[in-house]
Chains A and B, each alone.
Chain A
Amino acid sequence: MSAIYILWLRQLKRYFRTRIRILSSLGQPVLFLVSLGFGFGPLYQRAGAGNYLQYLVPGIIVMGILFPSVFSGIEIIWERQFGFLKETLVAPVSRFQIVLGRTLGGATTALFQGTIVLVICSIAGFRVANFFLLPVAFGFMFLIALLGNAIGTAIGSVLDDVQGFQLIMNFLVTPLFFLSNALFPVDGLPALLKLLVHLNPLSYGIDGLRGALSQAFLFGPGIDLVILGGVTSVLLGVGSYLFSRIEL
């Protein structure tokens, strides 16, 4: 138990001490907020679809959570050669405790990151529809952070060279984000794209968060929770299993 706690605490200390990384990972969501939110906003309004910012912001928050949390999982590749991971792998602590401490730590910092994005978006004009639903929003944010961490852990446990990292980001994580309902509404999409969005587990996380923040569910909170929770649990299992098989 104390091992999980200290590994969780370590992730938090690392996060709050590298301010440059906090800033750099805020850059991308803010850029999307400004360029898409304000760039397409008028067009969206003219099309009679309402306020685009209210639609887009949950997607931007997910972006602010997903990328850093995948990254914190995938760091395993680097850390097991040059970092602290080796120290934990030879310690008399079960691999499950290590992966749990790391994942919870990574998810906590990603949740914090998502909260900062939410605050920035609120300053930019986003309105939280119902403050009583904020705990639900944080719940979905935390699940998405866990999902990202689990993906990163699974990949980081299998790859043994940092070369593969860019490949994963370009061909897995970026499509996961863009081929979801993060940036555009699903109504009237071409059939293939619509199918992809429906198959993408992240879409359910975004829908859950959007429902809680802007009160506009597409799938409904129940389905969102079941699918996101289910996929996240499976991936956490896969990630822990692959992590437990790491040899140096």
Chain B
Amino acid sequence: MIEVQNLTKRYGEFMAVDRISFSVSRGEIFGFLGPNGAGKTTTIKMLTTVLKPTEGSIRVGGLDPVRDQGAVRRTFGIVFQDPSLDEALTAFENMELHAVLYRVDPRERRGRIEKLLRFVGLWDRRGDFVKRFSGGMKRRLEIARALLHEPRIMFLDEPTLGLDPQTRNHIWSYIENLSREEDVTVFFTTHYMEEADRVADQIAVIDHGKIVAQGSPASLKERVQTVSLEDAFIALTGHAIRDEEASTADHMRQIRRIWGRR
């Protein structure tokens, strides 16, 4: 479903992503792990057509995100790291807007929206403004929204970041469900190793823009002779704490924390 060959993104001298290759088969849950600033989000951006690669080739659902932008965009759903809902609209209106943008058949719209809002347990709150939702509810709504046009691939960038264990558990059961029952291919990034261990069929560990290990969680643990994936991760990427330069996105996140959401 996803084929990546020698994918590279260079910003001046800095190699954000450095000749990485991997493939994800249909219906598989693929975990993309790495420390802060390793190149996870940059990779997702290139896979989802919003950033042009410097070099290398990508196939998403058999199509090239650079040349067949529109067609690729119809094949996937995405949940971003930072929220992308319109908080001044209701949950239902957010879903409706997505349906129009993705040209979901108007006769099917209502039925599908109801099914998905029930799936994430938000149907009773459909008329509430999103700004009144908790972090977990917003994330669930984003997942429901991303599924509305029946994508064959789901991209999730840190889908459980900042959520309590109950909500995280919930979200992962939705995602497992998708893969097992709906045959949706899932590509996610996370910081939580135990989550990756639990749900991922395949894992790639990226560090300094390069993939340092790939395989099933069990095979990775075996390879570096560790009990937990967390230890395997540390063994693969080293103990050093990553002090990255704050990006403008980090700066804006900070302002957002200080001033609250608008």
Contact = CB atoms under 8 A, between A and B. Distances in A.
Interface of A: 2-3, 6, 10, 13-14, 17-18, 78, 81-93, 160-163, 247-248
Interface string B64-103: 0000001101100010101111101100010011101111
A13 B101 contact: no
Nearest to A84: B86
Interface stretch (B17-25, B30-38, B47-55, B194-202): B47-55
A2 B100 contact: yes
Nearest to A94: B70
A161 B102 contact: no
Of A6, A18, A91, A247, chain B has the most CB atoms within 10 Å of the CB of: A91
7 contacts: A3-B100, A6-B100, A78-B252, A83-B83, A84-B85, A87-B84, A87-B86
A81 B252 contact: yes
B256 interface: yes
Interface string B220-262: 0000000000000000000000000000110111011000011
B45 interface: yes
Contact of A86 (B70, B80, B252): B80
B88 A163 contact: no
Nearest to A15: B88
A201 B153 CA distance: 49
Nearest to A9: B97
B93 A92 contact: no
A92 B102 contact: yes
A160 B247 CA distance: 10
A82 B252 contact: yes
Nearest to A83: B84
Interface string B174-216: 0000000000000000000000000000000000000000000
B84 A163 contact: no
B178 to A, nearest CB: 19
Contacts of B100: 2-3, 6
A166 to B, nearest CB: 12
B83 A17 contact: no
A86 B71 CA distance: 18
Given A3-B100, A10-B89, A82-B82, A90 B50 contact: yes
A89 B45 CA distance: 11
B249 A81 contact: yes
Nearest to A87: B84
The 10 nearest A-B residue pairs measured at CB: A91-B101, A92-B73, A84-B86, A248-B50, A161-B248, A86-B84, A14-B88, A6-B100, A87-B84, A92-B70
A84 B82 CA distance: 10
Contact of B78 (A13, A82, A90, A161): A90
A111 to B, nearest CB: 20
Contacts of A248: 45, 50-51
A14 B262 CA distance: 12
Nearest to B251: A161
Contacts of B73: 90-92
A86 to B, nearest CB: 4
A6 B256 CA distance: 27
Given A6-B100, A82-B256, A90-B50, 8 more contacts: A2-B103, A3-B101, A13-B88, A17-B129, A84-B84, A91-B98, A92-B74, A92-B102
B100 to A, nearest CB: 4
B140 to A, nearest CB: 16
A58 B35 CA distance: 57
Contacts of B255: 162
A86 B83 CA distance: 9
Nearest to A17: B88
Contacts of B70: 92
B249 to A, nearest CB: 6
A161 B84 contact: no
Nearest to A161: B248
Contacts of A82: 82-84, 252, 256, 261
Chain B CB count within 10 A is highest, among A3, A6, A92, A162, for: A92
A14 B52 CA distance: 32
Interface string B109-124: 0000000000000000
Contacts of A17: 88, 129
A91 B145 CA distance: 12
Contacts of A18: 88
Nearest to B70: A92
A176 B145 CA distance: 42
Nearest to B93: A13
